Amino acid sequence: MISRPPVASPEPPIPPDCIKKQKAASLLLYTVLVLLALWVVRDFIGAMAWAGVIAIALWPFLQKVEGSHWFTGRTTLIAAVLTLAIALLVVLPFGIGIAQALREAHEMTDWFKAAQENGIPMPDIIERLPFGVQQISAWWQANLAQPLRDSAAMKGLHSSTVMTLGRHFGARAARGVMVFAFMLVTLFVIFQAGPRLSGSLIKGVRRGFGDDGAQLLERMAAAVRGTVSGLVVVGLGEGVLLGVAYFVTGLPHVALLASITAIAAMLPFCAPIMFGLAALWLFSQGSVAGAIGLAVFGSVVVFVAEHFVRPVLIGNSTRLPFLLVLFGILGGAETFGLLGLFIGPALMTVLVVLWTDLVQ
């Protein structure tokens, strides 16, 4: 007789309480692993976040380019070109500023030596002030008009505190370069992944949080995209208009000043600092009409940009009221630094969505 293998008895069903405990344990395990992974890459979270913000802002443009028959199947080329363009947009202004500083380093060195030997002469603008001329002149003669070789300020330049600050600045600059390099690498990978990445992300969010979660993610992406448009585009526009004003009033280094003004204008209420300093320089050179004209023109440009153009660009894309846009930008910048300029409005969008769902 042929012996038959014993038939395995079916496993008893798992009790519902055990299934709940297993799910809770799995969730805890996944949470611990995710937190551990974030802790491992904690030094690169900023670079990845910046890459995400730039990718979200350029995603519609990337989709249009990939949809063209000229670039079909050339995802790597498109990613390389876009990443190189972003790198040049950041590197070129810094390169221009460094080159300009190196060209004027000799003049600055001569001025520094002259100040050590002969002091700093009082500018003529002080004599034209409507009040306080005697007090300012007396202080200047006592502190700056004398040779500065043995002054406390010059001795402080060689102190250990200044050397420590210099080393700290160098370390921060090196870290900034490293973060920028990793951001470019991450951005290239995101661009190269293309629609596959966005499709997988939406699919995963919809599976985990449903259609409401997917819609919330799309609105947050729209908030980031609108904030980038409102800050960057408006900042560049202010830089161009004020650059024309700089050229008309006869300021030196117009291109460099316009670039710095455009960068400052991307931050709320920072553009007046730049054209205000430029107006003061014109006033010190005796160009009173040019200083007043630049101050008035700059104030009009910034007022229109900050109160009409920028809120419309950001608010229309996010459907946020102006006050929440302002709070999101300023509060995000205070909490997360420059990256918070784009994260803040996205978080305000989440707040509005949750409030809408609550009151409906």
Average pLDDT for the chain: 78
pLDDT average, residue stretch 150-160: 57
Confidence at residue 298, expressed as pLDDT on a 0 to 100 scale: 92
Q: What is the pLDDT of residues 14-58, one digit of tens each?
A: 677 777 777 788 888 888 998 998 898 888 888 888 888 888 888
Other Cβ atoms within 10 Å of 24 Cβ, number: 10
**Contact between 188 and 79 (Cβ < 8 Å):** yes
Asked if residue 53 lies in contact with residue 224, where contact means CB atoms within 8 angstroms, the answer is yes
Higher-scoring residue by pLDDT: 124, 241: 241
Q: Is the model more confident about 12 or about 63? A: 63
- Judged by average pLDDT, the poorest of 244-258, 304-318, 333-347 is 304-318
d(CA 227, CA 232): 8
State the burial class of residue 343 (Cβ atoms within 10 Å of its Cβ: 0-12, 13-18, 19+). buried
The tens digit of pLDDT for each residue in 249-305 reads: 988 878 888 888 888 888 777 888 999 999 888 887 778 888 899 999 999 998 888
Domain ranges of the chain: 44-193, 210-360
Structure token pair of residue 51: 């890459």
pLDDT of residue 125: 67
Give 139-145's long-range contacts (Cβ < 8 A, gap of 24+): 144/119, 144/120, 145/119, 145/120, 145/121
In this predicted model, which residue has the larger pLDDT, 36 or 121? 36
| pLDDT value of residue 245 | 92
Tokens 């002259």, residue located: 114
Residue type (1 letter), 188: F
